[in-house]
Structure 1
């Protein structure tokens, strides 16, 4: 049975895509932080704004709310964005551009489109249910690598953050 030229071309293209994806790897962007201050996995963020926004990506996070870095990856494993912060400075590298911010909170809002409780997020990842006004967090499945937090403040758009950690 002979395949047509178009079918062979599409088949070759799919094989090439999967071969490239199989060779893709993450860079270990957070190797400068102690193991207990590093996390990786999948993050999904939904913002019930007008229009609604949704974002999901693989990530690597290291450090603390005071100083750290966060890398987001495409499905092929290439870096989509890299966020870095230290006291008084924060940068976002994405789409071939580097942008500067005054704080990690401003950086995270620009990168994700949502105001997230950065300090509490690090506590939540460590298993401490630090309260944040207008937010609720579910750490009941953290031992299985799952965290869910949501902003329920009726005066602001609802935000849902889900994290699945890699073992």
Structure 2
């Protein structure tokens, strides 16, 4: 049986499929160019508040992204697929074993249907590659020397570790994401993502 918290887990990771922007990075940073098509896998842990109670959950994910679509599979710690999420330019769909698929015109609508409120994350498609739009509207590019930013939509990103921080073009390994309000961390949601090394 899928717990209600699994829906939150699914919707939270589904938010990883937000739209990316491709404006130029700040100068002086040696970073990999943004890629429209990537395949990633990793682990995710989410801490959140629901009805005044602190909750947490964790699991694994696989991520396949093309220029137009994003497919995400969520896997429980025991290895079972909890949900499969597909985001296209015209719809977002959440499928869970034994349940009717949920579809909405966009990810925000889907999370509103699933959670009853809109999950305010739309940038993780960028964030997984070390890119973000900063609070001042400028393009942020993460590097080991420039590893933290508050985004325009109110999230603090900390790039905690790198696949190889001595590489000429480091790739993110661990990203901590916390919600920010009036410059202070708030308790509604925090996400920790660890990206597995990509096989060569």
Give CA-to-partner distance per residue, 1:2-22, whole Å, 9 cap, x none. xxxxxxxxxxxxxxxxxxxxx
> TM-score, normalised on structure 2?
0.56
Unpaired segments of 5 or more residues in structure 2? Answer: 1-34, 134-150, 165-172
The residue number in structure 1 matching 2:106 is 103
Number of residue pairs the alignment of both structures matches:
132
For the pair 1:123 / 2:126, whether they are aligned, the reply is yes
The residue number in structure 2 matching 1:48 is 49
Cα pair distance change 1:56/1:64, threshold 3 Å: farther
CA RMSD of aligned residues (A): 2.9
Cα pair distance change 1:101/1:65, threshold 3 Å: farther
> TM-score, normalised on structure 1?
0.66
* Stretches (4+) displaced over 4 A: 154-157
Structure with greater contact order relative to length (CA < 8 Å, sep ≥ 6)? 2
More strand by share: 2
Distance 2:54 2:67 in 1: 27
More helix by share: 1
The residue number in structure 1 matching 2:7 is none
For the pair 1:147 / 2:148, whether they are aligned, the reply is no
Unpaired segments of 5 or more residues in structure 1? Answer: 1-33
Distance 1:60 1:106 in 2: 23
